[in-house]
Amino acid sequence: MWKKLKEVEGEIQAKMLEDFLKANGVPAVTKIIDGPFPKAYFGSSTFFAIYVMQKDLEKANNLLNSIKKEELEMKYTVLHEEHIKLGAKMVEFAGFHMPVQYKGIKDEVLTVRNKVGMFDVSHMGEIFVSGSESTDFVNFLITNDFKSINPGQIVYTAMCNENGGFVDDLLAYKISENKAMLVVNASNIEKDFNWMSTIAEKFDVHLENRSDDYSLIAVQGPKAQEFLQNLTDLNLDSIEYYCFEFGKINGIDAIISRTGYTGEDGFEIYTTNSSGIIELWRKLLEMGVEPAGLGARDTLRLEASLLLYGNDMDETVTPLEAGIKWAVKFDKDFMGKTALEKQLEEGLQRRLRGFVLIDKGIARHGYKVFKNGEEIGYVTSGTYSPTLDKSIGMAMIKKGFKSGDIIEIEIRNKLIKAEIVKMPFYRGSVRSKKK
C-alpha cells in the first residue's frame, strides 16, 4: 500500500526528491495534488505529493531527516529572471534551475558555430586557493603541470583520487604564485571542496569556496571577440588561448579568459557584480548576441569531443582511459600518480573512443556496444550533431579496437551499426595554444 510521505512545491523539486529516494533503495512515485488548491492561489503553480510503500515509510522519513535543507532547495543564478523573460525552457541541472533551450537546440548550435552565442554558466564552482604554498598545493592536487605556467595562464586538468579515478575535471587559473582559482563542475562543488580541504592540510594554504559569489557568462563563436571588444578597453586579441586578464567589461570588474566548452573561439567572463552581469547580458542581447542553453552547450562540447563529468568519466575512470594523457604529467608528483603509472605499465584495458552512427538513430548514455555478438563497452555520450548532420557519440570500449572498425550499438532493442572514428568530430574557430 502506498502512503503519502511529503508534499512538495514544484515539479522539479518533487522529481529531485523522488530520484533521491530511489537512489537510496526506496521506490517512490510523484502525483499532482488534486482538489482545491488554496496554496496555489497564494503564488505556487502546482503542488505534488511523494508516495512510498508503507513498509518503506520509516526508512523514507529517516532519509528525509538526513537531508540538509539546502540539498532540496532549487538554486537560481542571478540571470534567472532574464531567461524567463526570453521564454527559455527551464530544467533542473546540478540543483540549479537552468535554461535548456530558447529558440531550439539546432538553431543555437549553428548560431555559435557560425556567429556568436552566449551561455549563463553561473552554476559552475569557483574555489580560491591562497597562501605561500598555493602553487605547490595545486600542482600536487592536479595531474597537469601548474608549476610551470605563468600568472595569467590556465590549465585544463584532471583531479584524481588515490586510485587514479576522476574526482573531477577542472580549470586551474594561476592568479599569482600565491593565489589560484579552480573552476569546478556545478554538481561536484561540495565534494571537490571537501576533497581539496583534506589534501590542503599538508600545505600552507587557505581555501575559499566563492561559488555563490560569482556569476559567469560564456560568449562563444567565431565573432565573439568582435562583439566583446566594443565593451572593454582590454586588447582581447592579446589574450591568448587558455589565458586571462583582470579588467572592466561594460563598466564592471571581471576576470576575462579565453576559454570555453564549445570548440569555438570565445571568452568566459567571471564577476561578483550581480547587477552588472545582468546589464552585460542585456547589452549583449541588444548587440545581437543570441542566448543559448544547456542543450546546445552539451551538443557543442560533444562535437568538439570535450568530456562531461558523470557521463564520460567519474571516479571509476582514469584520465588515461578518458583519452587525456596529455594532461597527465608524470615528471612531477600528484595525487593518484602511482595508480596511473601502474595502469600505464600494465596497459589500458579500455579506452574512450568516438563513433559515428551508420544507420539511423541516436545513441544515449549507457547504451551497450557490441562486436560480433560480444559486448565490448558502453556509450558515455551521444547525440545528433547539427553541424555534421550525423549522429555521433563517445563510448568506453575495451582494448583491441581502432578507428575504422564497425561496431554495433543497442538502441531500443535493435543493433545499430556505427564506425569508430578519430576525435574531435569537429574543429571550430578555437585558437591553438601557443607553446
Please indicate, yes or no, if residue 50 is contained in any of the structural domains: yes
Q: Are 214 and 122 in contact (CB under 8 A)?
A: yes
The predicted model scores a pTM of: 0.86
Please provide the average confidence, as pLDDT, over all residues in the chain.
92
Percent of the chain at pLDDT above 90? 80
In the predicted structure, residue 32 carries a pLDDT above the cut 70: yes
In the predicted structure, residue 281 carries a pLDDT above the cut 50: yes
- CATH number for position 393: 2.40.30.110
Please indicate, yes or no, if residue 333 is contained in any of the structural domains: no
Please indicate, yes or no, if residue 312 is contained in any of the structural domains: no
Please indicate, yes or no, if residue 243 is contained in any of the structural domains: yes
Average pLDDT over residues 148-171: 98
Asked if residue 205 and residue 97 are part of one domain, the reply reads no
DSSP per-residue letters across 191-228 = HHHHHHHHHHTTSS-EEEE-TTT-EEEEEESTTHHHHH
pLDDT, tens only, 177-188:
999 999 999 999
Asked if residue 154 and residue 218 are part of one domain, the reply reads no
Average pLDDT over residues 279-302: 98
Please tell me the total count of domains within the chain.
4
φ and ψ at residue 381, rounded to 5 degrees: -145, 145
Closest CA to 392 of 407, 382, 405: 382
Asked if residue 230 and residue 192 are part of one domain, the reply reads no
Q: Are 165 and 314 in contact (CB under 8 A)?
A: yes
Please indicate, yes or no, if residue 353 is contained in any of the structural domains: yes
Given 152, 180, 209, the domain boundary residue is 209
Average pLDDT over residues 96-113: 96
What is the pLDDT, as a whole number, of residue 12? 60
What is the pLDDT, as a whole number, of residue 46? 53
Asked if residue 366 and residue 404 are part of one domain, the reply reads yes
Domain that holds residue 196: 125-209
**C-alpha–C-alpha distance, residues 164 and 346, integer Å:** 14
pLDDT, tens only, 422-433:
999 999 999 876
Asked if residue 432 and residue 298 are part of one domain, the reply reads no
In the predicted structure, residue 67 carries a pLDDT above the cut 80: no
Asked if residue 431 and residue 298 are part of one domain, the reply reads no
What is the pLDDT, as a whole number, of residue 45? 40
- CATH number for position 268: 3.30.1360.120
Percent of the chain at pLDDT above 70? 93
Please indicate, yes or no, if residue 412 is contained in any of the structural domains: yes
What is the pLDDT, as a whole number, of residue 62? 86
Q: How many CA atoms lie within 13 A of 251 on its CB side?
A: 8
Asked if residue 223 and residue 85 are part of one domain, the reply reads yes
pLDDT, tens only, 194-229:
999 999 999 999 999 999 999 999 999 999 999 999
pLDDT band at 416 (very low <50, low <70, confident <90, very high): very high
What is the pLDDT, as a whole number, of residue 68? 59
Please indicate, yes or no, if residue 326 is contained in any of the structural domains: no
Q: What is the DSSP letter of 422?
A: -
Please indicate, yes or no, if residue 323 is contained in any of the structural domains: no
What is the pLDDT, as a whole number, of residue 39? 33
Asked if residue 197 and residue 156 are part of one domain, the reply reads yes
Q: What is the CA radius of gyration of the chain?
A: 23
Asked if residue 225 and residue 193 are part of one domain, the reply reads no
**C-alpha–C-alpha distance, residues 168 and 181, integer Å:** 15
Average pLDDT over residues 335-357: 98
pLDDT, tens only, 6-16:
876 566 667 77
What is the pLDDT, as a whole number, of residue 139? 98
Asked if residue 95 and residue 233 are part of one domain, the reply reads yes
Asked if residue 142 and residue 110 are part of one domain, the reply reads no
pLDDT, tens only, 79-99:
999 999 999 999 888 889 999
Asked if residue 202 and residue 94 are part of one domain, the reply reads no
Place of cell 527551464: 90
